[in-house]
Structure 1
Amino acid sequence: MSEDAAAAIAARVAAVRAQIAEAAARLGRDPATVTLVAVSKTQPAAAIRAAFAAGLRVFGENYVQEAVAKQAELADLPIEWHFIGPIQRNKTRAIAAAFDWVHSLDRLEVAQRFAEQRDPARGPLNVMVQVNVSGEASKAGVAPEAVVALAKAIAHLPQLNLVGLMTIPEPSADPELLARRFRTVRELRDTLQREGLPVWALSMGMSSDWSVALAEGATHLRIGSALFGPRPRKTPRPKGGGDASGEGAKTCG
């Protein structure tokens, strides 16, 4: 990566962090309670290294094979890796081995596989339940009315640490609609807390709507293009041999 390209990433990182800090202060929130998850899918390892040098430590990936390759190249950096894409059943072992957090858990079967496949030496895998708050048939996630039952079942599994909820509302230019969607998820989180589950995290908000999500209590903002610039075109994978695609594009900003 050229010095100019690295400098451009550093400038965008600084700008986004400043915007988040300013917005958090207006809301009376401590900026330290907001985690910026840099969505680095399809970005080269060099771009992640530049973002790390600019101060970022948490990176979100959608594609398992791509992520594992980059993790090997960046093994010298103490990065916290978050998986934010749709979860294929045949990729659970690799996800359990390679990631610190999973934002997109929406099936008990997958949670059980994570519990069985997570190496105890790595410590528990932090997981969030993905909520399909807008009811889109094409989108991953569990229906809001099914969240409590699923969360309670996950909370009893070994090697998993249920920390919160994630959502991706439908694209909209209406901030009031987005606020209602995010508020629904926050209220679900609060319901889980009243049910005795020690959940706290809310992964919601991307490059286009993070300020609305922050106002509704988001703790993790998934931001990609605002940090890295236009996303490189993804090289098509051989049929049947790739990672999850399509819906995964909706899990980052």
Structure 2
Amino acid sequence: MADRKGDIAANLAKVEERISAACAAAGRGREEVTLVVVTKTYPASDVRILAGLGVRHVAENRDQDAAPKAAECADLPLTWHFVGQLQTNKVRSVVGYADFVQSVDRARLVTALSNEAQRAGRGIGCLIQVALDAGESGRGERGGVAPGRIGELAEEIDRAPGLTLRGLMTVAPLTGEYAGRQRAAFDRLMDLSTDLRRDRPAANMVSAGMSADLEEAVAAGATHVRVGTAVLGVRPGLR
């Protein structure tokens, strides 16, 4: 356990250095960017180590892994983000622990989240996942809605009791015009965020960037970066 804590601490320090350097290069304050550590596939013991090292925001993308982990870590001062594609039959469980759902991408999901938030007496912060590779279906390969549908989904969230629209999220696309152009993708997301904030100034979260491209996200103006591998190491399934 001591070795694991040392490894995580060293990795976390390197990521903090990267974020600080990116903020300085962009003329931004370090406090403008929140690090969300993605703990998927890693045990609750790692979450405890992270909390002990000062991490306050953690993310998961699979409810079957996240629910027991969140329950085991319920005593820790953490904010939980759900960042994966969310099926409606998992909503009740996710609402039990998630403070933010960053992957809202359809009206049916909004309805389900609202119903469960009211039942549980909880308020859930929602980010609309934007698919910059959306094709004719209006959805991206990894979920999300086309930019042209942000407005209608924002209105759905505005009308949904128990939910608050907090901003936008994207994953740098692997196909389409933004494939391999992370900075351009994140700049596009910032433009969409500016449009959204004209009528909803409180929806000011912009979640973009991961281990490989957090610098581009910070340069574009992201407020939250989602980093897993650079902090916790290569996941067992990816070795």
- Aligned to 1:147, the other structure's residue is in SS state helix
Q: 2:172 is matched with which residue?
A: 169
Q: Which shows bigger deviation, 47-56 or 213-222?
A: 47-56
Give the structure-2-normalised TM-score.
0.91
Pairs within 5 Å for 1:164-203: 164-171=167-174, 177-196=181-200, 198-203=202-207
C-alpha distance in 2, partners of 1:175/1:21? 26
Q: Which residue of the partner structure matches residue 106 of structure 1?
A: 105
Q: Give the SS at the match of 2:103.
A: strand
Indicate the larger mover: 215-224 or 16-25: 16-25
Which position in structure 2 is the counterpart of 1:17?
Answer: 16
Aligned CA-pair RMSD: 2.0
SS in 2 for 1:118: helix
Matched, 1:33 2:29: no
Any idea what the Cα deviations from partners look like across 1:140-190, whole Å, max 9, x if unmatched?
000111111211221221111100000012249x99821221111111111
Matched, 1:227 2:226: no
With over 3 angstroms needed to count, the CA separation of the structure-2 counterparts of 1:217 and 1:147, relative to structure 1, is same
Give the counterpart letter for 1:164 in structure 2: G
Partners of 1:96 and 1:121 in 2: CA distance:
8
Residue ranges of structure 1 left out of the alignment (5+ in a row):
235-253
Aligned to 1:76, what secondary structure does the other structure show?
coil
Amino acid at match of 1:101: F
- Per mean C-alpha deviation after superposition, the further-off stretch among 13-22 and 83-92 is 13-22
- Whole-Å separation in 2 of the counterparts to 1:191 and 1:216: 15
TM-score w.r.t. length of structure 1: 0.86
Deviation at 1:61, TM superposition (A): 0.3
2:59 matched residue in structure 1: 60
Amino acid at match of 2:142: K
Per-residue deviation, residues 62-94 of structure 1 (Å, max 9, x unmatched): 111211111122122111110000011101111
**Structure 2 match to 1:142:** 145
The match for 1:151 among 131, 140, 154 is 154
Identical columns (%): 37
Q: Partners in 2 of 1:196 and 1:36 — Cα distance?
A: 24
Contact 2:125 2:164 (C-alpha < 8 Å) held by counterparts: yes
Deviates further, 82-91 or 70-79: 70-79
What is the DSSP-based 3-state SS (H/G/I as helix, E as strand, rest coil) of the residue aligned with 1:222? Answer: strand
- Written as runs of structure 1 = structure 2, the 5 A alignment for 1:39-58 is 39-58=38-57
Distance 1:130 1:175 in 2: 17
What secondary structure is seen at the aligned counterpart in 2 of 1:71? helix
**Would you say the 8 A contact 2:79–2:99 is kept in 1?**
yes
Higher RCO, Cα 8 Å, sep 6+: 1
